[in-house]
């Protein structure tokens, strides 16, 4: 399965590529790359504990624990023979407050919005090297 | 000028940059093994209905270590690895999936008839001229 970055025309960049650029030169990038490729080798299917589906959303997400209480989530979805990396963000491992729930839900809505845009123009992507 | 630098920053491909490192291939192979080990540990633990804490107690470590192993970001020493393999009852199939080595192959003696199995066999072989052959069978009964 080919891996591609979703490219947002309004932002002018690929959200996941930009997110990962903050780890330039860090070893964490190799593990994240390994997880992305492992999921792609499994046709983008959920492979716990690496990737999970999300209830109420049409995309899946790859998990990586950055530190004790911070999880990196990389949202992706499968489109034909492509695994499209949509959005990436960090979230606390456990959270209770309504405010945090709203913030995370907002991130999911961003990913959902990217899917809609991608489906309208399936050329909105950049190759994952 | 400000806008140009902003565009450049947005277009940095951290993975492409990482690949330029001469040790990338080595680290990448290590990461693959850690990820496969994480998946096998998770699947076995779930199949045994154990929590991370219960598994940690069983093999004499901490929940935090199990969490790090399942996150794929920990190099496991041979002692702990052995305890995990024993504690979770790993088979040669589990190990072959982690280390990409051939799993066990069962050969039958002449005269064996209607042998019944309850598992799937994955068989990998390499011929003398370097051709890889992979066979997968879930045949339950072999008739000779």
ipTM score of complex: 0.88
Domain-located, residue B2:
no
Q: Above 70 in pLDDT, residue B133? A: no
CB contact under 8 A, A65 and B11: no
Residues B40 and B63 in one domain: yes
Q: Are B88 and B45 in contact (CB under 8 A)?
A: yes
Chain pair A-B, CB pairs under 8 angstroms: 89
> In this structure, is residue B46 part of a structural domain?
yes
Dmax over CA atoms of chain A, in Å, equals: 39
The domain locations on chain A are 2-127
In a domain, B7, yes or no: no
Q: Are residues B90 and B117 in the same domain?
A: no
Residue B118: pLDDT band by 50, 70, 90 thresholds? low
Determine the pLDDT at residue A46. Answer: 93
Instruction: State residue A68's pLDDT score.
Output: 79
Contacts of B12 in chain A (CB under 8 A): 17, 21, 24
B95 and B106: one domain? no
Looking at the structure, do residues B114 and B51 belong to the same domain, yes or no?
A: no
| Contacts with A13 from chain B: Cβ below 8 Å | 7, 10-11
Q: What band does B3 get if pLDDT is binned at 50, 70 and 90?
A: very low
- Pick B71's closest partner by Cβ from A27, A47, A65: A65
d(CA B61, CA B115): 41
Contacts of B25 in chain A (CB under 8 A): none
First to last CA, chain A: 13
Residue B30 lies in a domain: yes
Query: Quick one: B66 and B109 in the same domain?
Result: no
Residues B107 and B134 in one domain: yes
Name the domain count of chain B: 2
Nearest to B69 by CA among A65, A75, A42: A65
Residues making up chain A, counted from first to last: 129
**Å from A64 to nearest chain B CA?**
6
* CATH number of domain containing B72: 1.10.260.40
Residue-wise pLDDT tens digits, B37-72: 999 999 999 999 999 999 999 999 999 999 999 998
* Residues B114 and B46 occupy one common structural domain: no
Same domain, yes or no: B34 and B71: yes
| Domain membership flag for residue B5 | no
Averaged pLDDT score across all residues of chain B: 79
Please determine, for residue B92, whether its predicted confidence score (pLDDT) is greater than 90.
no
Q: Is residue B2 pLDDT above 80, yes or no?
A: no
Among the candidates B67, B83, B100, a domain finishes at: B100
**Residue B143 predicted with pLDDT over 50:** no
From the centroid of its chain, how far is CA A55?
15
Cα(A65)–Cα(A43) distance, rounded to whole angstroms?
23
pLDDT winner (highest mean) among B82-86, B90-94, B136-140: B82-86
Burial (0-12, 13-18, 19+ Cβ within 10 Å), A91? middle
Per-10-residue mean pLDDT for chain A, 129 residues long? 94 93 87 95 93 91 88 94 94 79 90 95 92
Residues 6+ apart with CB under 8 A from A66: A28, A72, A90
Query: Looking at the structure, do residues B95 and B42 belong to the same domain, yes or no?
Result: yes
Contact call for residues B13 and A14 (beta carbons, < 8 A) = no
Pair B133, B64 in one domain: no
Same domain, B75 and B106: no
Is residue A14 packed enough to be buried (19+ CB in 10 Å), middle (13-18) or exposed (0-12)?
Answer: buried
Residue B140 has pLDDT above 90, yes or no: no
Q: Is the pLDDT of residue B121 over 90?
A: no
* Cα separation, B121 vs B137, whole angstroms: 5
- The verdict on residue B129 lying in a domain is yes
Chain A residues with CB-CB distance to B11 below 8 A: 13, 17
By Cβ distance, the residue of A13, A48, A128 closest to B10 is A13
Q: Is the dihedral of CA A113, A116, A118, A121 positive or negative?
A: negative
pLDDT tier at B5 (50, 70, 90 boundaries)? Answer: very low
Domain containing B46: what range? 23-100
Indicate if B44 and B93 belong to the same structural domain: yes
Determine the 3-state secondary structure of A84 from DSSP: strand
Structure tokens at B102: 């051939």
Nearest-Å Rg of the Cα atoms of chain B is: 22
Q: Residue A42 has what pLDDT? A: 94
DSSP B75: P
Mutate to test the interface with B, among A11, A21, A85 (most CBs of B within 10 A): A21
Can you list the positions of beta strands (E) in chain A?
Answer: 2-6, 51-53, 60-67, 70-79, 82-92, 125-127
For A62, name the nearest residue in chain B, comparing CA atoms only: B71
CA-nearest residue to A23 within chain B is B14
The candidate with the shortest Cα–Cα distance to B47, out of B10, B78, B105, B91, is B91
pLDDT at A108: 93
């Amino acid at each position: 399965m080919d891996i591609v970055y979703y490219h947002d025309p309004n932002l002018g960049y690929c959200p996941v590529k930009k997110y990962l650029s903050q780890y330039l030169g860090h070893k964490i990038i190799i593990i994240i790359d390994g997880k992305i490729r492992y999921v792609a080798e499994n046709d983008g299917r959920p492979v716990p504990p690496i990737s999970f589906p999300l209830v109420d959303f049409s995309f899946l997400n790859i998990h990586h624990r950055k530190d004790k209480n911070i999880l990196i989530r990389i949202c992706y979805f499968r489109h034909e023979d492509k695994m499209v990396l949509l959005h990436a963000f960090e979230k606390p491992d456990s959270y209770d407050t309504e405010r945090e729930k709203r913030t995370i839900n907002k991130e999911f809505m961003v990913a959902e919005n990217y899917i809609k845009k991608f489906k309208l123009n399936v050329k909105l992507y950049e190759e994952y090297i | 000028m400000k806008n140009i630098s902003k565009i450049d920053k947005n277009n940095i491909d951290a993975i492409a940059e990482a690949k330029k490192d001469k040790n990338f291939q080595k680290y990448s192979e290590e990461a693959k093994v850690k990820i496969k080990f994480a998946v096998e540990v998770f699947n076995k633990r779930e199949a045994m209905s154990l929590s991370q804490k219960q598994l940690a107690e069983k093999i004499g470590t901490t929940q935090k270590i199990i969490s790090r192993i399942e996150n794929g970001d920990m190099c496991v020493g041979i002692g702990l690895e052995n305890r995990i393999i024993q504690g979770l009852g790993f088979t040669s199939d589990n190990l072959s999936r982690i280390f990409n080595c051939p799993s066990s192959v069962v050969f039958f003696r002449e005269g064996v008839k209607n042998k019944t199995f309850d598992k799937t066999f994955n068989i990998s072989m390499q011929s003398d001229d370097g051709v890889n052959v992979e066979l997968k069978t879930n045949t339950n009964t072999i008739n000779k």
